[in-house]
Amino acid sequence: MFMGEYQHSIDEKGRIIIPAKFRDALGSHFVVTRGLDQCLFVYAMEEWTIMEQKLKALPLMKSDARAFTRFFFSGATECELDKQGRVNIPNTLVDHAKLAKDCVVIGVSNRVEIWSKETWEGYSLQSEQSFNEIAEKLVDFNFDL
């Protein structure tokens, strides 16, 4: 399980350090793709396989399913860590997440997310303000704190 929040920088070559606590669980090869809310999703190969199966099960005849599958897979790339624990993020993904110098790497259960610091701070502030409302809605999913 991935959890926690870490501040890192992305260099001019698109490399960012993956926190040491995440490296073992990610393995030497993993997948980085476009995420929701203007971030990047990072999946260990085992988790990527699970996501792939879920996406394959979506109905091909539904345009939303096709659109989401295209969005998710077309941005995906297999990556590996270098000896310093960094991953090189392709330019298309850097652009998608608007990554510039200061970044935030967070653990979210079965995946890692990479955010620009500015986007993460805005998202966190907005989410914090509506946290109670969001928690109430989760009751509909049989979730209780």
What CATH number did the domain enclosing 109 receive? 3.40.1550.20
Give the chain's domain count: 1
pLDDT band at 36 (very low <50, low <70, confident <90, very high): very high
pLDDT at 57 over 80: yes
Mean pLDDT of 110-127: 95
In this predicted model, which residue has the larger pLDDT, 144 or 96?
A: 96
Please give the sequence-ordered ranges of beta strands (E in DSSP) within the chain, or none if there are none: 2-9, 15-17, 29-34, 40-44, 77-80, 86-88, 102-109, 111-116
- Which residues form the domain of 18? 2-141
Tell whether the model's pLDDT for residue 145 goes beyond 90: no
pTM of the predicted protein model: 0.92
Q: What confidence category does residue 78 fall into, taking pLDDT thresholds of 50, 70 and 90?
A: very high
pLDDT, the chain, mean: 93
pLDDT(134) > 90: no
Q: What is the pLDDT of residue 23?
A: 95
Paired with 86 in beta bridges are 17
d(CA 54, CA 135): 26
Q: Give the whole-number percent of the chain exceeding pLDDT 70.
A: 98
